[in-house]
Amino acid sequence: MNPIEPEIEKIGDAVIEMIELVKQQLSRSKDAFLNLDKELASQINHTEKRVNSLELTIDKYCENTIARFSPVATDLRFVVSMLKINSDLERIGDYADSIADYVRIIETPVSKELLKTVSASEMFDLAVGMMDLLEEAYVKDNTKKMKKLFSRDTALNEINKQKSSAIKDFLLKNPESIDEALFVHSTIKKLERVGDHVKNIAENYIFYSDAKVMKHKKLS
């Protein structure tokens, strides 16, 4: 056995753990947001410490592997890609944590009319679904599934484009709800950014697996 193989496996397993943890955080943030569940929001905030700790652990694994084994070719692409993927996953965890922060301080549920207007539930479902697909593609080493994430990100972007006019129309009818509207606007933007980070992860995984650079390419 190549001495680097156990280290590669250790990194890969840790990244799977990170994907699962971040996916859980994002899914819980949906429930906390839509149901104004402050207890769940507190759990998300507490779990954020685990996300940050695991990020540091994966970084350490990758750095030690480079220092000890000087990987080349596929092994080097793997380690470099996992470093970048790890960073994107941590950012997704940050977005879930930020949504939970607000849930903890607001006093009344967000207007159902506003949530429907900006397709908040749909955006959450798309974002969490992207994490599901990401995990499946990663575990199965399936770059075709990874490429499906690009169109999912496009769908998130299209919904996000409509949010400003939708929120403006809501505020014209409900001018007293400006704080509420700003929070929803921020949350929708975070979900759009989740899509961007998942797309980054897919690009980096494809770079590792297929040695193809997908970044900045326009995909149909």
> How much is the pLDDT for 150?
97
Q: Closest Cα partner for 44 from 34, 55, 30, 56?
A: 30
Burial of 97 (0-12, 13-18, 19+ CB in 10 A): buried
Express the helix, strand and coil content of the chain in percent, nearest 5 each: 85, 0, 15
Whether residue 216 is predicted with pLDDT greater than 60 in this model: the reply is no
- Structure confidence at residue 212 as a pLDDT band (50, 70, 90): low
Dihedral (CA of 192, 130, 20, 57) sign = negative
Whether residue 166 is predicted with pLDDT greater than 70 in this model: the reply is yes
- 110 close to 180: Cβ distance less than 8 angstroms: yes
Residue with tokens 């994966």: 58
Close Cβ partners of 118 (under 8 Å, ≥ 6 residues apart): 159, 162, 163, 166, 167, 184, 188
Of the listed ranges 16-25, 41-50, 130-139, 165-174, the one predicted with least confidence: 165-174
- 48 close to 98: Cβ distance less than 8 angstroms: no
Q: Give percent of the chain above pLDDT 70.
A: 96
Supply the DSSP symbol for 119: T
> How much is the pLDDT for 211?
73
Domains, the chain, in order of start with CATH, read 5-210 (1.20.58.220)
> How much is the pLDDT for 220?
41
Whether residue 213 is predicted with pLDDT greater than 90 in this model: the reply is no
Q: How far apart are CA 19 and CA 15, in angstroms?
A: 6
> How much is the pLDDT for 83?
98
Residue-averaged pLDDT of the chain: 94
Whether residue 134 is predicted with pLDDT greater than 70 in this model: the reply is yes
Whether residue 110 is predicted with pLDDT greater than 70 in this model: the reply is yes
Q: How far apart are CA 191 and CA 86, in angstroms?
A: 18
